[in-house]
Amino acid sequence: MIGVVVTGHLNFATGYRSALLAIAGDEPQVEYVDFLESMSTNDLEQALRLAVDKVDTGDGVLFLTDITGGSPFQQSVKVAADIANADVISGTNLVMVAEALMEREDLAITDLVSQLIETGMENIKSYYQETQHASCSTSNHDGI
């Protein structure tokens, strides 16, 4: 099973943990690492390495981060470089994390990454745009 490490600024990771416990229950081989204001990037790197030690069973490790280029992303990339089968995704949303935890036994890490990116993008919606599109498509009908 692919190990998962969720990380981000402040309480990003532990906030997702709380939500995921309600949605999916307690899952094995997943760690949540917050990058708190009191931490240095070296502290974050060490916390990520400890998380990897807990989740890596040889099937790969996937880091799910908040912001591309942010410290959690950069340190995840640094740690992932030392793992034979690892990847880092940024821009993570809750649906992506839930799906990662449900699908990681059945997919190779490359397939899982592709699926999660697609899922993440599919789940970004604008209520206004969706309802406008729906009302336009129903009002353009000529009827019977």
| Domains parsed from the chain with CATH numbers | 3-139 (3.40.50.510)
Residue 77's contacts (CB-CB under 8 Å, 6 or more residues apart) are: 63, 88
Q: Report the mean per-residue pLDDT for the chain.
A: 94
CB-based contact 36:9 (threshold 8 Å): no
Q: Give the C-alpha separation, 23 to 4, whole Å.
A: 17
Residue 141, pLDDT above cutoff 60 = no
Please give the average per-residue pLDDT across 48-55, as a whole number. Answer: 99
CB-based contact 119:94 (threshold 8 Å): no
Residue 55, pLDDT above cutoff 80 = yes
Residue 29, pLDDT above cutoff 90 = yes
* One-letter identity of residue 39: M
Query: SS3 for 30?
Result: strand
